[in-house]
Structure 1
Amino acid sequence: MNDTRQLLVFPDRDAAEEVAEELSARWPDLGEIEVARDALAGEDDAEDAQWVVAVEAPEDGWTPGQLRGLDELATDQDGWREEG
């Protein structure tokens, strides 16, 4: 069982917010989904900031299907998934 927090990383805020809404609709048991701005390490320019959707694991942990769904949502918006 995978109970690690998942981070979906996107190049812009609109994509991150759209994915957060989709996650809430698809898996309402995930609870609060956090959208935050994350500056790239060593970058001072605000243009280089990424947007992160942080999703805590469901009570029973992530299923392989849910992790695939997260991957699909991320790649559909030019993003990716990381464990965090």
Structure 2
Amino acid sequence: MRQLLVFGEREDAEEVAEVLGEQFPGLGVPRVVRETLAGEDDAEDAQWLVVLEGLDEGSLAKVDELVERYEGWREAE
């Protein structure tokens, strides 16, 4: 199942992606993508996503802890 880690700041998303790449080397460095919020005209109102694929359920608690430190959240897709 694909996991989306959502952050308000690009720097936070990039740092989390780097840390996850180190903690879970089998995944490689996760992709960071920008998502514009529906109905928003201001380009500043975008979220930054870290896309994780291939992560086992046992690792999600570790991921959640890291995401919370950066004031983000995780969504399963």
TM over 0.5: yes
TM-score normalised per structure 2: 0.92
Shift of 1:70: 1.2
| Count of aligned residue pairs for this structure pair | 77
In structure 1, runs of 5+ residues without a counterpart are none
In structure 2, runs of 5+ residues without a counterpart are none
Query: Pairwise CA RMSD of aligned residues?
Result: 1.1
The match for 1:39 is 36
Between the aligned partners of 1:32 and 1:22, the Cα distance in structure 2 is 8
SS in 2 for 1:46: coil
* Identity between Structure 1 and Structure 2 (%): 53
Between the aligned partners of 1:63 and 1:37, the Cα distance in structure 2 is 25
User: More strand by proportion, 1 or 2?
Assistant: 2
Regions of 4+ moved over 3 Å:
none
Are positions 1:24 and 2:24 aligned together? Answer: no
